[in-house]
Amino acid sequence: MRYLKLGLFVILLLVLQIGVFSRLRVFGVAPDLILVAVVAFTVINQDEESILFAAGSALLQDLLSYGLYLNLILKVVYSATINAIKKSFMGSDFLLAAGVLVVFNLITFILTGIIFPLLGSKGIDSWAWLLSTLSASLYNLIFLPIIFSILKDLSHD
């Protein structure tokens, strides 16, 4: 039953991300709710379970969006990195999630800023890129407390 609830929650996040927030952009960016969910779930749960959650949710995200499978690769790597970090982290789980969310958001924007121009997409102005990165980080951080608490409840069912 727990896995069914998690699956439905991921589908809800994808519907919100692709259907709603893709139209409610702030400074040209939408939140990456799957990234927020992967970070929160990985901080809360065990290693193997969190890697599977990251892979499954990111694969669905890639299948329903532009589909370069960059999300799948990055979110699995992010989950593995969090699993390595959390073993020696002594602070609050929520603060760990917030910190790595900002760092991973920056890494994602750097990589997409490098990869998409190589694939023929037009480049982006440095100031616009910085504003987009900051906006996306803040947008993701707004949703972190909500998603974190829901996943904490679903993880302990």
**Nearest to 81, CA basis, from 99, 94, 58:** 99
pLDDT of 119 over the 90 cut: no
Residue count of the chain: 157
Q: How many domains is the chain partitioned into structurally? A: 1
Query: Which pLDDT tens digit goes with each residue over 51-95?
Result: 999 999 999 998 887 766 788 999 999 999 999 999 899 989 999
pLDDT of 16 over the 80 cut: yes
C-alpha pair distances (Å), 152 with each of 25, 64, 74, 122: 28, 26, 23, 40
pLDDT of 3 over the 80 cut: yes
pLDDT of 123 over the 90 cut: no
User: Among 25-29, 77-81, 100-104, where is mean pLDDT lowest?
Assistant: 25-29
- Please tell me the pTM assigned to this model: 0.91
Q: For the domain that residue 10 is a member of, what is the CATH number?
A: 1.10.1760
Residue 29 belongs to domain spanning: 2-155
The full 3-state SS of 98-136, as one line of letters, equals HHHHHHHHHHHHHHHHHHHHHCCCCCCCHHHHHHHHHHH
> What pLDDT is stored for residue 27 in this prediction?
75
Write out the two tokens for 144. 């972190």
